[in-house]
Every structure is written in C-alpha cells, then in structure tokens.
Structure 1
Amino acid sequence: MTDIIDGNAVAADVRDGLGDAIDTLADADVTPSLATVLMSDDPASETYVSMKQDDCEEVGIDAIDIELDPDAPAEELYDTIDDLNDDPEVDGILVQMPVPDHVDDRAVLRRIDPLKDVDGFHPENVGRLVAGNARYKPCTPHGVQKLLAAADVETDGADAVVVGRSDIVGKPMANLFVQKDEYGNATTTVCHSRTEDLAAKTRAADIVVAAAGVPEMIDGDMLSEGVTVVDVGINRVDADTEKGYELVGDVEYESAKEKAGAITPVPGGVGPMTRAMLLWNTVKAASLQHDVPVDLP
C-alpha cells in the first residue's frame, strides 16, 4: 500500500502546535504580526494573500494587509518596506511575488529587514541556511521536511534527488538535505534543465522532490519501487471540467503512485505546508524580536 502523505492534516497539526508558542508570547504581552504587501492585480496573487491573511487570523496572528497600485513607482514599494522595517508592531514582512516588471525583485528581497524576512530569502538568511545556522528556513522546503517527518521517511544516508534549482525551492531544499542535522544527512543530487538522463538519476533515488514547474514531467517509469515522492509542482492545465482546467503536479500521479512507497498529492500535499510554515516563521520572528523564548512544533 502506498502511503498518501496528507499535507492538509500535517499542516493542521503544525497550526495547532503553534498555539502554545502564541500563548507564551501573549503572556509577555506580544501578539505576532505579519504584514503582507501586494503590488499586483493578478487574481492568483490576490487569492494567495487572502488565504495567508485567513491563516493568520485562524491561529491568532495579527494580519496587516497592504495593497499598492501595480503601476506605482518602485520607490513606493521600497518606502513601504522601509516603514514596515521600522515599525516595532510588525514582526514579519511578506511581499507577494511576482512584483511588476518595473520593480527589481532582488532589490525588494534585500530591502526587507533580515529579522522580519519570514520567507527566508534575504541574502543574509540564505547565507545562514547554507552555513547550517538557519534563522528562517524557506517555507516550502521546511514544509517538505515536516511532511517527510510525519511520514517517518528516513533521510539519514538516503539518496535524495531534487528536480529543479530555483532560489525558492530547489536550492534551499538541497541545502537542507545535505545539512548535518535532523531530516538532513542525505546524499543529494540537484537536477535541472541541463541534466542528462534525468530518469537515471530519479530511478537511483530513495527520495525525489519534484520542483521544476513542468506538468507531469516525472512518471512511474522514472522511479524505483518504494521511493518517496514529494511533488512541489502545481500547474494549471486545460481539462474538460467546469472551470476548463485542472491542477496537476510535476509528477504523473497515477503511475508514480504504483511505484512509490509514499507520495504527496496535488493539490493537498505540499501547498498547505507552505502556508503553515509561514505562520511558523512569523511566530519565530516575534519570539526573536521580542526576546521571548518559545517552543515551536
């Protein structure tokens, strides 16, 4: 029997587990707060921000919603970030990506105070992650670690293949796998668009994390028996449905499920964990900035 790793259930456990830490902060008269900044009229981005706001309210985190005109000068976004950096009532800052073309996204990431960078993308936080002393782990790779732990998947000594080398998922995921740490210690291969014979790499893996953004690029023929498959991809493809599309991962689920010992579905796998770990990072940010130690789940 293949273990279907339920991201919704694991994410709910993480959110529930944050309750004690939030209560500890409340005893010190601290309420964690997250500011989300949206500079886009893209419906998907608007939905993502709304969901994050709802998540905050559900667990007791103050949600600060800031929306900027997508046609406004880049300086308006930079000034907004500066104001949030200086505001002691704001613990975490998340600028929803993508930003408009006239805004330098890397400048945005550098602008955020590293202590308030709950995405974990500021160069200082990236450096700390690579050095093995992470302040905030990027939400999606951290969520993958939590899913593997919940499914009792052993990473110590395992051969892990990460398909994709993005700054958001692929690179930090590989760095977490190789760390001399819990849920690390894996022998890790990073595959990408220039990799030759991808199937040979994935067939040799004990754990495959698919994060390339290519619909159903990995199928069962590319996997070994008993492999753990974590599908980070979420792709909209045309389909004969009421909406005219369906969401699929980077893995062809039905054939992969026949080979896998454990697998995450799409949707309902990694996605809920990304949101849960944002809350986790926000609570940690409040703990660090207000010097109130907490136990995190």
Structure 2
Amino acid sequence: MTRIIDGKQQANRLREVIGQETLGLQERHGIRPGLAVVMVGNDPASQVYVRNKARQAGEAGIASFEHRLEANVSQQALLALIATLNADPAVHGILVQLPLPASLSEAAVIQAIAPDKDVDGFHPINIGNLATGARAMVPCTPLGCLMLLRQQLGELAGKRALVLGRSNIVGKPMANLLLRDSCTVTVAHSRTHGLAEECRRADILVAAVGRPGLVTGDWIKPGATIIDVGINRIEEQGRSRLAGDVDFTSASQVAGAITPVPGGVGPMTIACLLLNTLQATCHQHRLPFAEDIPQRALPTHRKPTRSVTS
C-alpha cells in the first residue's frame, strides 16, 4: 500500500522545534531572530506566500520585516534596500521574493545579499559551498525534500536517485544534497532521451520540472519513493486547481510513498526557511546551532543518520 507523505504534518513538527529553540535563544541571550522579506510588485500568489511566511515566522518567535516595493522600482533602489538590510543587526535573514519584474536583474539582487543572511541559499558562495561539501545555507525546497526522504527511508546511502529538473533553485542543489547522502544520482530534464526509462530505474524520484502530470505510473519503479515538487495551476471544466509534475492517481498505484500536491513539499519549504533563519542568527552571533533540530522533528520511530545541515 502506497504511503502518502504528509508534508504539512512534518512541517508543523519542525516549526514546533524551531519555536522551542527560538524561545531558548531569547531567554538565554536576549536575541530574537529576524527575517526580512522583500516583495516587488503585486503578484497575488506571491502576496499569499509572503503572508504565510510572516504568519508562520511570528508563530515560531521570529520577527518578520516586510518590505513591499512597486513593480517599477529601480534596480538601484532595490539594491540600496538590500544594503540597508545587510547592515541591520536585527535582520538575520533576507529573502527577496522571486520572480522579479523583467526590468530587474535577479542575479544582481541575489549576489547583493550578504551570504550569511542568504536564507534562500541562492548566493553563489552558498551554492559553491554546497557543491563542494562545505557548510552552506541550503535552498529551502531541496532541504525540505531531503527531510521528507529521510523521514520515509532513514538511510539513503546506496539508493539510486533521479532528479527530474536542473534549475538552480531545486534541481541542482537537490542533486548535491543526495550526493552528500551517498546516493547514486542522475539529473534528467525535459530534453533527456529515454526519460521514462531513466525514471523507472530510480529508487527515489524528485520531480521538479514544471510540467503538470508529466510523470505517470508507468514511469515509476514499483515501491519507489516519489517527491513531487511541481506546483502547477491548471484549468479543468472551468475550475482552477493545483497539480504536481507527477500524475498522482496513476503514480500512487505503483509508488511505495509519494507526496501530494498540495500538502507535500510546499509546507516544508516555509518551515526550512525558518530553520535557515535560526541557523543564520546563531552563526552571526557566534553561538552554537542545534544541528539535531531536523532529527528532533521526526517521528520517534524514524531517525536519520546525520544532520541535513552537516
């Protein structure tokens, strides 16, 4: 019987542990972690996402600072705001909501964020550190995916993993994380020849290609664990709904475990953003970071072999 991986439940547990650590940080050292979120324009989906981030940050004891800018803001003004946040001791993490308007350079904005405040994990220094096995801020969605995999499977070493998607935000860092857990990793994408055959070889399949329903049940190895990162809004019979990159109905007849959309990876992304903010706070104040937070957030019957932040 296929297990449904409940990302919402796991994210709730992770936020509880983060809240306990945040409270202890305030009581022992008088330090409250601070997260600054910058949103440019008025994209409705981004507005909902930013509100959820602010609410969950507050519930975990993290101060939230929102900066909303008009869509026609200049590159210079946006970079000046980031410089101010870099210098603000009350701000330990900075997140600029992507995508940005076409008039702005995302690369320049990401590079302007101080690497130790880059809680999205997108700065080239953090990307390079992750790729070389050094300590890094890990992008939130891949980090959440790894936690869900460890929750389900425990030890990942030796498993054959396929990452479907090669983006800098999910695909590439996800592959690096799986390599660090000693998986045998293949990165595939929409132009891979024999894509279905590649998928069928995988014990772990992480789908992050942005094509709704691309992966069907006949692409999946029986018993494989499926992490569906895709969040695609589709129209059916005059109604709008969210769909993943995996056809859930057919895949769930074959997979050993699978994340739903919504309710799978999405909640873990925000929880991992809060985890990164706590980690950034500790490092900036030269305080020890509780590396066992991910383990403590897991069910008692399942413990990973080491920290995801190691």
TM-score for both structures, normalised by structure 1? 0.96
- 1:153–1:292 CA distance, 2 compared to 1 (3 A): closer
1:172-215 Cα distance to aligned partner (Å, 9 max, x none): 00011111xxxx10000000122001000000110000000000
Q: Which residue does the alignment assign to 2:152? A: 151
TM-score for both structures, normalised by structure 2? 0.92
* SS of equivalent residue, structure 1 residue 259: coil
Q: Which residue does the alignment assign to 1:48? A: 49
* SS of equivalent residue, structure 1 residue 258: coil
Do residues 189 (structure 1) and 186 (structure 2) align? yes
Do residues 225 (structure 1) and 222 (structure 2) align? yes
Residue pair 1:39, 1:69 contacting (<8 A) in 2 also? yes
State, as a whole percentage, how many aligned pairs show the same letter: 47
Shift of 1:153: 4.7
Aligned-CA RMSD value: 1.0
Alpha-carbon separation, structure 1, partners of 2:199 and 2:190: 14
Residue pair 1:24, 1:294 contacting (<8 A) in 2 also? no
Shift of 1:293: 1.5
1:4-37 Cα distance to aligned partner (Å, 9 max, x none): 1000011011101113321231110100000000
Match of 2:199 among 185, 202, 220: 202
1:221-244 Cα distance to aligned partner (Å, 9 max, x none): 101110100000010000236xx2
Q: Which residue does the alignment assign to 1:22? A: 22
Residue pair 2:94, 2:117 contacting (<8 A) in 1 also? yes
Alpha-carbon separation, structure 2, partners of 1:206 and 1:114: 34
Alpha-carbon separation, structure 2, partners of 1:288 and 1:24: 15
* SS of equivalent residue, structure 1 residue 37: strand
Q: Which residue does the alignment assign to 1:259? A: 254
Alpha-carbon separation, structure 1, partners of 2:158 and 2:55: 39
Shift of 1:135: 2.0
Residue pair 2:150, 2:156 contacting (<8 A) in 1 also? no
1:59-110 Cα distance to aligned partner (Å, 9 max, x none): 1000001011111211111000000001111100000001111110000000
Match runs of 1:53-72 below 5 Å: 53-72=54-73
Shift of 1:51: 0.8
Alpha-carbon separation, structure 1, partners of 2:173 and 2:54: 25
* SS of equivalent residue, structure 1 residue 19: helix
* SS of equivalent residue, structure 1 residue 108: helix
1-10 or 144-153, larger mean C-alpha shift: 144-153
Equivalent pairs, count: 291
Q: Which residue does the alignment assign to 1:277? A: 272
Alpha-carbon separation, structure 2, partners of 1:25 and 1:108: 30
Q: Which residue does the alignment assign to 2:12? A: 12
* SS of equivalent residue, structure 2 residue 186: strand
- Matched AA of 2:178: F
- Matched AA of 2:191: R
Alpha-carbon separation, structure 1, partners of 2:92 and 2:159: 37
Q: Which residue does the alignment assign to 1:36? A: 37
Residue pair 1:25, 1:292 contacting (<8 A) in 2 also? no
Alpha-carbon separation, structure 2, partners of 1:216 and 1:70: 32
Can you give the 5+ residue segments of structure 2 that lack an aligned partner in the other structure?
A: 294-310
Alpha-carbon separation, structure 2, partners of 1:31 and 1:221: 50
Alpha-carbon separation, structure 1, partners of 2:91 and 2:71: 23
Q: Which runs of 4+ in 1 moved over 6 A?
A: none
- Matched AA of 2:71: P
- Matched AA of 2:206: V
